[in-house]
Amino acid sequence: MKIIHRYVFKEIIPLFLLSLAVITSLFLLNKIFTWLDLILNKGVPFWDALLLYLNLIPFFLSTTIPMAILISTLLALGRLSSDLEVLALKSSGVHPFQIIGPALVFSLILTLGLVYFNHQILPESNFAFKKRYFKIVENQINVALKEKEIINTFSGYQFYISQINDQGILRNVEVFLKSDSKSPLQVTLAKSGKLITDKKNLQVSLDLKNGVSTWTSDKFFQIYNRVYFKNYIINLTLENQFKNMSAIKKGPKEMNFFELWHKIQHTQHAQEKNRLEIEFQKRLSLPFACLAVTWFCAPMAIWLRKKGFLSFILGIFFIFIYYILFMISELMCERNLLSPAIGLWIPNICFLVLGSVLYYFTVKEREILTFLSYKKKTSI
């Protein structure tokens, strides 16, 4: 390995680790109030809540690793360029690709590592999260169900139970549901009920028997609805923010690539097949974002000659652009406007193409505006 290669590696790797730690911490902080609510208001033991919280880290890493390599590439090569070290190297006969090459090699290693991570570690971590979450809900509801007390443990619901017999049968159950401030209050009364723990599907439910459910359909309370039922099942969760990660035993997010591909091949329902293909392509395309954003940001950093805070702000801006493109592409795939095999790779393709243009101008040492102006004069 040449000295210049080692030098660039030493610039990028510490900045990558720092960026990864900061960005992942910000993602985790977004869930800190949910975690505190589980401990302080829902009564979940600290150790169980902590392990549940730590299970979120792999879920975030699959997104934050491409972000970190983008920012670290801009910071490292931007610093070399602004301090005229790149100019000195080029004056000594060093080709720009020898400066950009180590960043690309590092991003390729991250890409291959993240492919394996998304194939094996991420689905196992997501499934571990579901199992731990199920255990918490199972234990919590047994503690929470008490006679003649208002129960607020489960998100969106309030329960009042008149009696619980020795067999675990609930008598005269009242359920109040208000999912948000704008939705009407739904009141459900049942003569009896029972707690159901489905360990196969990792779901805890309340099975109500012989009752009535009432609610209004408009904000002026002019339309009143009443439904009588013999059987009504309520699926319980501790927190809405975790709900979509704990609904079934093993969904697409808990499957590895082979399981997803097998499921896709044997699914006949078009909408479900499209959902599986989106998950498969998303988990495959995001690792290659490391390579795409590095190819774009490396010549950009050398060309702009910005360092420090300006490079960081620029990195945040490019992250925003990439994920806006990614979300638009995903939405179009969900609506069957694009095939997932094409749509979810569009952001990577865009960054690769733009990176190639920037690389051309970096090698030729030409300004884009000057080049466009020259082309215009030539055409005249």
pLDDT at res. 138: 66
Mean pLDDT for the stretch of residues 175-190 = 78
Mean pLDDT for the stretch of residues 215-233 = 77
Q: What is the CA 379 to chain-centroid distance, rounded?
A: 48
pLDDT at res. 271: 85
pLDDT at res. 377: 47
pLDDT at 329 over 90: yes
User: By mean pLDDT, which of 32-36, 198-202, 282-286 is the weakest?
Assistant: 198-202
Q: Cα 293–294–297 angle (5° rounding)?
A: 80
Q: Where are the domains of the chain?
A: 3-137+253-379, 156-236
Helix or strand holding residue 193 (H, E):
strand 186-198
Which of 192, 194, 185, 240 minimizes the C-alpha distance to 213?
185
pLDDT at res. 110: 94
Question: 113-164, pLDDT tens digit by residue?
Answer: 999 999 988 888 888 887 787 777 667 665 556 778 787 767 678 888 888 8
Distance of alpha carbon 321 from alpha carbon 299, whole angstroms: 18
Higher-confidence residue of 182 and 100: namely 100
Distance of alpha carbon 65 from alpha carbon 4, whole angstroms: 25
- Compute the half-sphere exposure of residue 367: CA atoms within 13 Å on the CB side of its CA: 6
User: By mean pLDDT, which of 53-57, 113-117, 219-223, 234-238 is the weakest?
Assistant: 219-223
pLDDT at 335 over 70: yes
Question: 226-277, pLDDT tens digit by residue?
Answer: 888 898 888 776 554 454 444 444 667 778 888 888 888 888 888 888 888 9
Distance of alpha carbon 125 from alpha carbon 54, whole angstroms: 10
What are the DSSP E strand ranges found in 199-298? 203-216, 224-235
Question: 252-263, pLDDT tens digit by residue?
Answer: 777 888 888 888
Q: Cα 329–110–245 angle (5° rounding)?
A: 55
Mean pLDDT for the stretch of residues 17-24 = 93
> Bridge-partner residues for 226, per DSSP?
214
pLDDT at 17 over 90: yes
